[in-house]
Amino acid sequence: MAEETLDPDDWTAFRALSHRAVDEMVTYMQTVRDRPVWQAPPTEVRERFHAPLPLEGQGAERTYQEFLASVLPYPTGNIHPRFWGWVMGTGTPMAVLSEMLAAAMNCGCGNFDDASSLVEDQVLAWLKEVMGFPAGGGGLLVSGASVANLVGLTIARDTRAGLDLPRLGLAAMERPLTLYGSRETHSSVAKAVQVLGLGREALRLLPVDDAYEVDRRALAEAVAADRREGRQPFCVVANAGTVNTGAIEPIDALADFCRAEGLWLHVDGAFGAMAALAPALRGRLRGLDRADSLAFDLHKWGYFPIEAGCVLVRDAAAQRRSFSVAADYLAPAAGGVASRTDRLAEHGPQLSRGFRALKIWMGLKDQGLAKLGRLIQQNVDQAAYLAERVRAHGELELLAPAPLNVVCFRYAGRPTLQAPDALNRQLLVRLHESGVAVPSHTMIRGAYALRVAITNHRTRREDLDVLVDEVVRLGRGLRERSGTEA
Ligand SMILES: *Cc1c(COP(=O)(O)O)cnc(C)c1O
């Protein structure tokens, strides 16, 4: 019996299918504006995903047709110009190409003497320079800011524990470790604290001021109180762009505080750190270069496809201490494929690592950092435009300051609605289901808010006009239907 392979039997047919797929995906991206932002997969489509085990293959052509019919029409929607939910980047056509090229090479990135390691080294060197981190510092591309926060906080914990924590574990600690952030801190930080075995209560969530930035007096008091009561403060998490309102905290002042108190400064800059690329915004990040670790995403405000996160660490040796475990089968060799000594597996939790560096390297070379900076500024200007339109409209209400690219507002009606939360909840569902626009939602000081986070290089001001008109139209309709309410 002939030996088998997963390569095509007929390379010519596979080449033709590949060309068709590229053509169709280019058209798909080019025409995104003509489609609804989102549509729910109908029941009939959902049922197709309860198929029996595919024991025998059906071939590439039929499988591709199934993709076109059952998968492609039902995306999250974030490639669309009117998607502003959560914080999700748009992606780029060039990155679609890069991901295909990366998959063709299928490198084990960062651990071998190959080009994929050189590409990631190069990308990390660029990102360190952008963020003002030392060239000799550590860093790693990861899936996203959640993992970047986890990696940063792991190193913070291990470095500030006061004993060999990677070897001895938390059971050896005499005093419980505590860390600090505002109550606007992203849930991924709490998740990291939970995963790290510190217990979520170790994360002290402090009040914020009117700008939604951490109350620094409350921070100082909390650290002092924990010390008095026998706990061991080790880290402050500063926000560069909070998820709810886009607030950038005074990182410089927090760095001063951390230095005086001997605490690690970790910055969650998931999207906000990318403002470093926009000359007029860069000043707001003053002190970023003093952080011990920084988490940010290229897949949000860098517009790269998910997954593309990054963590930078001032002390590369500390990073290696947290993630390096020796193994005979991984020891560097004197030459050959295994001769790389600074293996990126020793910078983070993953051993096998995908070639996500390629899309970033190609994307930055293709478009340049200056253009990314202009797009980031464009999104900030668009958010200011939307906030102004909301402020000027008698039936809309701005619920929080909009200092960056996030706008929280609601349909308030005129005269003002008595129960705006319920109406706005319904309004958002209708808006999503209409396919016209996708903002998300949050709570701002107890009030339900429609939340627009613009990390979208396809958005135009006219798209925000469409949003305003549609929110007002739906708001009026819902109010009428609810009848008597004053
Ligand atoms: C999105 C976000 C995260 C988590 O990033 P992922 O890439 O989704 O893992 C963390 N912090 C903030 C402020 C965010 O906006």
> How far is the centre of ligand 1, averaged over its atoms, from the C-alpha of 193 (Å)?
15
> How far is the centre of ligand 1, averaged over its atoms, from the C-alpha of 146 (Å)?
6
Count, in order, helices (H) and strands (E) of the chain.
16, 12
pLDDT tens-digit profile, the chain (486 residues)? 789 999 999 999 999 999 999 999 999 999 999 999 999 999 999 999 999 999 999 999 999 999 999 999 999 999 999 999 999 999 999 999 999 999 999 999 999 999 999 999 999 999 999 999 999 999 999 999 999 999 999 999 999 999 999 999 999 999 999 999 999 999 999 999 999 999 999 999 999 999 999 999 999 999 999 999 999 999 999 999 999 999 999 999 999 999 999 999 999 999 999 999 999 999 999 999 999 999 999 999 999 999 999 999 999 999 999 999 999 999 999 999 999 999 999 999 999 999 999 999 999 999 999 999 999 999 999 999 999 999 999 999 999 999 999 999 999 999 999 999 999 999 999 999 999 999 999 999 999 999 999 999 999 999 999 999 999 999 999 999 886 544
- The token duo for 304 is 């790269």
* CA-closest candidate to residue 76, choices 464, 458, 440, 468: 440
Question: Which atom of ligand 1 is nearest the CA belonging to 147?
Answer: 9
> Whose C-alpha lies nearest to ligand 1, atom 5?
145
| Reported pTM | 0.97
> How far is the centre of ligand 1, averaged over its atoms, from the C-alpha of 186 (Å)?
7
* CA-closest candidate to residue 402, choices 389, 393, 414: 389
What does the alpha-carbon distance between residue 203 and residue 233 come to, in Å, rounded to a whole number? 10
* Parallel/antiparallel/unpaired status of strands 232-239 and 438-444: unpaired
* C-beta of 267 in contact with ligand 1 (< 6 A): no
- Peptide bond between residue 415 and the one before it cis (omega within 30 degrees of 0): yes
> How far is the centre of ligand 1, averaged over its atoms, from the C-alpha of 406 (Å)?
14
Residues forming beta bridges with residue 248, ordered by sequence position: 240
* C-beta of 297 in contact with ligand 1 (< 6 A): yes
Q: Residue type at 191? A: K
* CA-closest candidate to residue 308, choices 187, 454, 146: 146
